[in-house]
Structure 1
Amino acid sequence: MRTGAQIIWESLVREGVGTVFGYPGGAILPAYDAILEY
């Protein structure tokens, strides 16, 4: 089962997004961890 973070990154890759700006905070950490898969 995919996580929400994986779905976000898959969508960004599929749409051709080349740059993503982030922000610090605990809620976004799972997305930062999942980016290594993409």
Structure 2
Amino acid sequence: MKMSGAEMLLESLKRENVQHIFGYPGGVVLPIFDALFKDPSLQVVLTR
């Protein structure tokens, strides 16, 4: 099964032991937030 770009990004971050991601969902980053929702191993902190 192929991985999306968002899934590849999350896998890279996990390999670097990233535990928290700060961001604001919307626009072009929505696929990343969709992938984050499916993978609860990274904690998302919403900013505004």
For normalisation by structure 2, the TM-score amounts to 0.66
Equivalent pairs counted in the alignment come to: 38
For normalisation by structure 1, the TM-score amounts to 0.79
Q: In proportion to residue count, which structure has more strand?
A: 2
Q: In proportion to residue count, which structure has more helix?
A: 1
Structure number with the bigger relative contact order (C-alpha 8 A, sep ≥ 6) is: 1
RMSD between aligned residues? 1.2
Percent of aligned positions with the same letter in both sequences? Answer: 47
Aligned equivalents of 1:15, 1:25: Cα separation in 2: 25
